[in-house]
Amino acid sequence: MAFLPFYIPAAKRLKVVIVGGGYAGIAALTALKHYMPDIDITIIDPKAQHLKITHLHETFRYPLSDLLVPFADLEAGFGCRHVRAALTFNEDTVRQWQTEKCLVVNEEVLTFDYLILAVGSASRGFDSQEYVLNLQDFTDAAGSALLARYLTAENDKSEQTLSVVGGGATGIQFLFEIQQFLCRQKIRCKIRLINSCEQVLTQFPDGFDTYVQSRMRDLGIDYYPNTYYLGQQAGKILLKNKQTGEQFALSSDVSLLFLGKKQENLFAANAVGQLVVDRKPLDRIYVAGDCAYYNAFGSNALTAQSAVRKGKLVARNILRHSGRLKILEPYLHRDIGYVVSLGSADAVGWLVAEGNIVTGLPALTIKEIVETQYDLLLMGIDTYII
């Protein structure tokens, strides 16, 4: 058994149920198996495959299948079980689960010693519309195939226009990938970015905005800051100026909406990751990932980095709590960097300190190293520093 500080195991073989097979859930799975290989783990997730969702913008270069890891492969590799189901729950539900130490899924009673809630966040957006794509669409089909429904490479057609809505990390990464894709495919199409803020990437240092806007100017990408998206119709996008309230329309064949995440099921946790209900921690139920807000000094950012760290933390604390000492570890993780890719050969990010801005190939190299860490984790090789 691998060494885990403050962990003296008891004789009992643990049963753990993980609800959610995203970054946090997979990180919890791998950490539990790392320290207790014979642990009994069941993952509940409605999908047949784990999706490396932070790579979706790359499906303009690679097939979507490259980003999918079948849960059947994880079952074989880690000796766990996958139950395909979607669960809805609230505070009353989890209190009942804590008391009974079981939950019912697909008419099957699953007992547990510990339960990890690691569900993600849905994307903000409008109801499904014609001529509109959102992040969910890209989880079902590659970006190249989706755009082929709306854009054509025929030279006898007048120039087409594509609108990307949202100046966060996801929108920016898709924007630059699409620009390069259109160039490779020789598709005549004007691209614009619609953003409700003055700057792009507002959650990052100002240097991110400066660099990205300069690259957009170099590539001829139109930018509409302080502009609200109202809707997309056949051949045009409907917009509103944030400062003046003026509504206007621009030509647009398709709009791609990347409006950020919405946290519909946000659960409070104490500093060690235990779910808190009515100000009382539930010592058998832990939360991780986008659904969890920790009352701790660590980062609560809605990023894959934070999700992985929370998943690993709750796994270690479950093992400690099940042992003889019950000395649990507080969540103290702070992000040591973040990189936003700008196509296949460019990126912008920060490393160690937020003022330390890196761009170009050095930034892209950092991103590739971080992504390789997670790929290794999926193979059972943990290179993360605790």
Closest CA to 362 of 374, 350, 375, 376: 350
Give the pLDDT confidence score for residue 317 in this predicted structure: 97
pLDDT in tens, 79-96: 999 999 999 898 999 999
Give the pLDDT confidence score for residue 14 in this predicted structure: 95
Give the pLDDT confidence score for residue 128 in this predicted structure: 65
**Which of 24-28, 85-89, 133-137, 265-269 is the most confident on average?**
24-28
Confirm if 101 and 112 have CB atoms less than 8 A apart.
yes
Domain 124-260 class?
alpha beta
Q: Could you write out the three-class secondary structure of 84-115?
A: CCCCCCCHHHHHHHHHHCEEEECCEEEECCEE
Give the pLDDT confidence score for residue 124 in this predicted structure: 61
Rg (CA), the chain: 22
Report the amino acid identity of residue 92.
D
Residue 302's pLDDT band (boundaries 50, 70, 90)? confident
Give the pLDDT confidence score for residue 265 in this predicted structure: 72
Structure tokens at 255: 């709009």
Give the pLDDT confidence score for residue 230 in this predicted structure: 96
Give the pLDDT confidence score for residue 8 in this predicted structure: 78
* Section 148-171 average pLDDT: 85
Dihedral sign, Cα of residue 173, residue 179, residue 185, residue 187: positive
pLDDT in tens, 251-289: 999 999 998 776 667 899 999 999 999 999 999 999 998
Confirm if 378 and 385 have CB atoms less than 8 A apart.
no
Per the prediction, the chain carries an average pLDDT of: 92
Closest CA to 340 of 236, 216, 209, 145: 209
pLDDT in tens, 97-120: 999 999 999 999 999 999 999 997
Give the pLDDT confidence score for residue 12 in this predicted structure: 81
* Section 142-165 average pLDDT: 84
**Integer Cα distance of 71 and 55 in angstroms:** 18
Give the pLDDT confidence score for residue 226 in this predicted structure: 97
Residue written as token pair 């997670």: 374
Distances from the Cα of 77 to the Cα of 19, 30, 171, 222, 379, angstroms: 19, 10, 34, 47, 8
Residue 355's pLDDT band (boundaries 50, 70, 90)? confident
Pairing of strands 15-19, 227-233: unpaired
- CATH classification code of 15-121+263-335: 3.50.50.60
Residue 384 makes CB contacts below 8 A (sequence gap 6+) with: 308, 309, 312, 373, 377
Give the pLDDT confidence score for residue 336 in this predicted structure: 83
Residue written as token pair 């190299």: 365
What percent of the chain shows pLDDT beyond 90?
78
Judge if 15-121+263-335 and 124-260 fold alike in CATH terms.
Answer: yes
- The residue extents of the domains of the chain are 15-121+263-335, 124-260, 336-386
pLDDT in tens, 29-80: 999 999 999 999 999 999 999 999 999 999 999 999 999 999 999 999 999 9
Q: How many CB atoms lie within 10 A of CB 242?
A: 15
